[in-house]
Structure 1
Amino acid sequence: MQAQSREPVPTPLECDVLVVGGGINGAGIARDAAGRGLSVVLCEQHDLAAHTSSSSSKLIHGGLRYLEHYEFGLVRKALIEREVLLRSAPHIMWPLRFVMPHAKGQRPAWLIRLGMFLYDHLARRELLPGSRGLDLRRHAAGAPLKAEFTRGFVYSDGWVDDARLVVLNAMAAAEKGARIHTRTRCESLVRQGQQWQATLRQADGHAVQVRARCVVNAAGPWVAQFLGETAHVRSGKSVRLVKGSHIVVKRLFEHDHAYIFQNPDGRIVFAIPYERDFTLIGTTDVEYRGDSAKVAISDEEIGYLCALSNRYFSKPIAPADVLWSYAGVRPLLEDAAADASAVTRDYQLDLNRDGAPLLSVFGGKITTFRKLAEEAVDMIAPVLGNSRGSWTADACLPGGDLFAPTPQNRSVREFDGFVHDLQQQYAWLPPQLLQRYARAYGSRAHALLKGKSKLEEMGEEIFAGLYAAEVDYLLRHEWATCAADILWRRSKLGLHFPKGSEAVLDAWLAARGQRSVELLPEAQAASR
């Protein structure tokens, strides 16, 4: 009898570290580990930054309100990181001044002044000015507010494009040798002595076998579920899922400052200039027990944010004025706090060494992701026989080396000069479009525009300001596969384009033979 031929068994991927989770912590750990010479595979079940890491308030901040909970160590750590991050990626992060109006019945003025004094002095500042009192009757920030708000305070923090921050970390990891697998779920994980055997399932059903010396569980809201159901490991730590929601409305003020508002219930909410034409208002803190992949803002949250805005701004808004909204689940480290807004934003790393090492990440916030990643790799590297030291504190993320090799402070302070130079070099591009490229891609804008000398060479203009050349760049270099990736995570162009743009772009991609995937529920609701 003739023997039946069999399909050859694919050779498993071999790596030092398998990172599960493509949010900010997973991408940051992959970058740090790859930069120390460890071989890395990262898998993410959806798109990079598809959930929590693209649903933040978009701030690099110490957390002024955390001082009330005596979290001085966390605030100091975050304040130090604030300037480190600004230097690393001045194209997607920049300084932002915050105005806090003051009214009777709120936190007393002396307490606010004390808090801001601590905020200014808990860590060294080189890039950001300090706080001061403000006469809102004489400052531009007072004009949009109701007349009753005559006094206030102003202090500094930073803005970040959160989803792009994740992508840049993944790019940096890949450029140092890491293999990044998006739309790829880790469906099984088995310890075999001092090694892990993992099965990764891609969106098309294809299975990838991985043998890893160490696994990092950076699954965010799914960290505990992954431990119990996939890795079959018990842990004494847990996360508390807290939903944070935001709304976007037409621009409520003309200046470039943001606001921090105190609500009578003790909550803090921001109103931030957003995408040139809009104002971003958030966030809420609501206990969440549903499916973390299907989180959505509630009518009650929309009403709450509108009411808070109307408490301060002269121009009222209603739920009907909300152009877009988003919600995300923050996997906060469980600390038994009664109030969701009081739950710590700090993190803990849990290293299980009952055989091959398994490191799980509990909690965290965007501002401290780099330090978390550094500490995580400091824990696993010696176990893997790697003695290279930390390196990311002085390194730029892709596109952040605007004036290399000159001091990075120059990149933060002279970003407008970089834009001017770019406009001189590519004078054939509309200035507003080049400004957007500068902000999104930094020095990598040269890679996007390489070999082009006129607008016609950018390819088809799919929508106003979105050319085929940019889409191709995102597909090739940033793991974009569908319209939601391009319009809502790699950019926020979906806010500027007409309703239905996702379907048009997905059809355009399909016509060119580009891969398209089913949109996640939260990406389908493009506008209200």
Structure 2
Amino acid sequence: MTTASTSAPAAATAATTAPDGCDVLVVGGGINGAGIARDLAGRGWKVVLAEASDFASHTSSSSTKLIHGGLRYLEYYEFSLVRKALQEREVLLRSAPHIMWPLRFVMPHDAAMRPAWMIRIGLFLYDHLARREVLPGSEGVDLRGSPYGAPLKRTYTKGFVYSDGWVDDARLVLLNALDAREHGAVLHTRTTVTAAQRHADHWTATLRCADGERPLHARALVNAAGPWAEGFLRQVARPAHGETIATKSLRLVKGSHIIVRKRFDHDHAYIFQNPDKRIIFAIPYEDDFTLIGTTDVELPADALAGFAKARIDEGEIAYLCEQASRYFADPVTPADVVWTYAGVRPLLDDASGDPSAVTRDYLLETHADSGAPLLSVWGGKITTFRKLAEDAADLLGDMLGDRRRAWTEHAHLPGGDLRDWIGAPQRPDTDFQRLLVAIGQRHPWLPPSLARRLARAYGARVDRVLHGADSLADLGPEIAPGLHQAELEYLVREEWARAADDVLWRRSKLGLHYTEAQRLAVLRWFEEREHLWVRPPGVSA
């Protein structure tokens, strides 16, 4: 049995390999890879992570951005998965209240979809499968005369309200990467593992980046390549002589989302039941917009060859508009869509015929009997990433003959410890509001909208971005509205930003608010300064 602590174990156990090697090589910089690297580094293991693109550049920045148990999974009797996810909600909310916060969901009742008694039973289970201290329980709601019923067709008169949480998914990955680096891990973006040869007691890998190739020795290998995990084992990882590496099969299921102008003024989200027994969400997004998603479209195994990015198709746009229009009084049309994004969920093939029914739980597959340790991550969902990483670190410790203490359950992610700003924490949602007040008092020259955006992105570390500034002028030129040179330099220096898209669509969603000309100004800033970048230790383009 492992125990949790509020900080990482002492680093005295760290170095166990030669300087040109590491204990564990992690392949993949999505939420699972970054989470595993963070957990391992915090236990004192020497870790290297290689990500072929940018952090969270695929699946982990393309989620519905919810910290949730998965209410609909109860219909598939996924009680263990739902309970595990529900247990993680408040753990995550406390770890980083600047990028995660509670969110209430309104479910209009449509008797043709599911009877009210079934929904009540499901919500009762949802409320009680795991302990809640922050999130309120579910309740019925009369939509007539309610702000929650105002945007809906008048046929919807009753509904239900329940709690889950919201997360900035791409920044969640970044915070795990930052924490991994601060615990000693070396992380490389835009670096591909082109070969990995297994030996009796170590792996020899080849890492390729823009500057060329270099070899790396690792005692163990973690395959956290997400949608490319199966391909990595079949095409890149080479078994030791005389043995084979058996692998699971993945089902690639595309989930697409559309963004439209704001459809309602309150702060709750909607969950809509569809005639095909699926659900979609309509969620307040970036103040001025509504996010609607998601779809479930199965893709062929070779759909992401060459790290191709998933794209929404016209049929998915039409489906999301049609289902949302079943509920909203003002129909949603394809012409209303201002932005789209799509991600591919790497789901473990469980022989289910319906992509919506494929399990969202994860499996950690280990191989250590006839060669150096190998751990592959199959499936998973963003809500359970911390638990997945903790389980993976336990397994790797066992395979390396040295299980070390777990530590992340009560630890903050970078920027999430607000005590220096607000004193003793109370509740994650109110703590953030107290942080906003404190930032306004310390930096009264910051425009409120900019102060709020910076607080949401960087939390307690906002002063690292401001870098001693006493006025807007001290932040340097305003490259685009609300985006100053000081912040861009911070993102390059500390957060691996190497291109305009890294900033506009992952480290922030400013691209959604900018015109084409404003986005181009950020692009030009990067193009003009690329040769001036100074890369700190452990950071690679």
Q: Which category of TM-score, normalised to the shorter sequence, fits these structures?
A: over 0.9
Q: Name the structure 2 match of 1:364.
A: 380
Q: Name the structure 1 match of 2:4.
A: none
Contact 1:87–1:408 (CA under 8 A) maintained in structure 2: no
Rounded to whole Å, the distance in 1 between the matches of 2:517 and 2:48 is 36
Give SS of 1:119's match.
helix
Which residue identity lines up with residue 394 of structure 1 in the other structure?
A: H
Q: Name the structure 2 match of 1:144.
A: 151
| CA drift at 1:513 | 3.4
Q: Name the structure 1 match of 2:303.
A: 291
| CA drift at 1:191 | 1.6
Contact 1:482–1:515 (CA under 8 A) maintained in structure 2: no
| CA drift at 1:406 | 6.0
Give SS of 1:356's match.
coil
Match of 2:236 among 230, 236, 244: 230
Q: Name the structure 1 match of 2:212.
A: 206
Q: Show the 5 A alignment for 1:123-522.
A: 123-202=130-209, 204-233=210-239, 234-289=245-300, 290-292=302-304, 293-353=308-368, 354-403=370-419, 408-514=425-531
Deviations 1:243-290 (A, max 9, x none): 000000000000000000000111110000000000000000010114
5+ residue gaps, structure 2: 1-17, 240-244, 534-541
Rounded to whole Å, the distance in 1 between the matches of 2:433 and 2:222 is 39
Give SS of 1:362's match.
strand
Give SS of 2:371's match.
coil
Which residue identity lines up with residue 490 of structure 1 in the other structure?
A: R
Which residue identity lines up with residue 507 of structure 1 in the other structure?
A: R
Deviations 1:374-418 (A, max 9, x none): 000000113224332100000000000012696654344321111
Deviations 1:78-112 (A, max 9, x none): 00001100000100000000000012311000000
Which residue identity lines up with residue 129 of structure 1 in the other structure?
A: P
| CA drift at 1:514 | 4.8
Q: Name the structure 1 match of 2:6.
A: none
Rounded to whole Å, the distance in 2 between the matches of 1:264 and 1:342 is 15
Which residue identity lines up with residue 408 of structure 2 in the other structure?
A: T
Cα 1:346/1:510, change in 2 over 3 Å: same
| CA drift at 1:139 | 2.0
Deviations 1:123-153 (A, max 9, x none): 0000100000000013211000010000000
Query: Mean alpha-carbon deviation: is it higher for 160-169 or for 499-508?
Result: 499-508
Query: Mean alpha-carbon deviation: is it higher for 384-393 or for 77-86?
Result: 384-393
Rounded to whole Å, the distance in 2 between the matches of 1:191 and 1:515 is 39
Rounded to whole Å, the distance in 1 between the matches of 2:93 and 2:428 is 9
Contact 2:195–2:238 (CA under 8 A) maintained in structure 1: no
Deviations 1:200-244 (A, max 9, x none): 000x15112111000000000000100011113532422110000
Q: Show the 5 A alignment for 1:48-63.
A: 48-63=55-70
Rounded to whole Å, the distance in 2 between the matches of 1:57 and 1:181 is 27
Rounded to whole Å, the distance in 2 between the matches of 1:75 and 1:388 is 28
1:22 aligns with 2:29: yes
Rounded to whole Å, the distance in 2 between the matches of 1:181 and 1:415 is 32
| CA drift at 1:426 | 0.5
Which residue identity lines up with residue 454 of structure 1 in the other structure?
A: S
Contact 2:101–2:428 (CA under 8 A) maintained in structure 1: no
| CA drift at 1:508 | 1.5
Q: Name the structure 2 match of 1:4.
A: none
Deviations 1:309-359 (A, max 9, x none): 111011112111110000010001111111000000001001111210010
Rounded to whole Å, the distance in 1 between the matches of 2:251 and 2:523 is 36
Which residue identity lines up with residue 62 of structure 2 in the other structure?
A: S
Match of 2:48 among 28, 41, 44: 41
1:82 aligns with 2:96: no
| CA drift at 1:193 | 2.3
Rounded to whole Å, the distance in 2 between the matches of 1:13 and 1:141 is 59
- Over the aligned positions, Cα root-mean-square deviation in angstroms equals 1.5
| CA drift at 1:501 | 3.9
Contact 1:258–1:270 (CA under 8 A) maintained in structure 2: yes
Cα 1:407/1:78, change in 2 over 3 Å: farther
Which residue identity lines up with residue 225 of structure 2 in the other structure?
A: A
Give SS of 1:392's match.
coil
Deviations 1:292-324 (A, max 9, x none): 223100100000001111110111121111100
Contact 2:27–2:224 (CA under 8 A) maintained in structure 1: yes
- After TM superposition, the score normalised by the length of structure 2 is 0.91
Rounded to whole Å, the distance in 1 between the matches of 2:450 and 2:261 is 21
Rounded to whole Å, the distance in 2 between the matches of 1:12 and 1:25 is 26
Which residue identity lines up with residue 301 of structure 1 in the other structure?
A: E
Rounded to whole Å, the distance in 2 between the matches of 1:50 and 1:417 is 32
- How many residues were matched structurally? 505
Give SS of 1:312's match.
coil
Cα 1:362/1:297, change in 2 over 3 Å: same
Rounded to whole Å, the distance in 2 between the matches of 1:267 and 1:145 is 19
Give SS of 2:427's match.
helix
Contact 1:195–1:211 (CA under 8 A) maintained in structure 2: yes
Which residue identity lines up with residue 296 of structure 1 in the other structure?
A: R
Which residue identity lines up with residue 348 of structure 2 in the other structure?
A: L
| CA drift at 1:500 | 4.6
Cα 1:198/1:330, change in 2 over 3 Å: same
Rounded to whole Å, the distance in 1 between the matches of 2:52 and 2:143 is 48
Rounded to whole Å, the distance in 2 between the matches of 1:513 and 1:296 is 29
Which residue identity lines up with residue 346 of structure 2 in the other structure?
A: P
| CA drift at 1:12 | 7.5
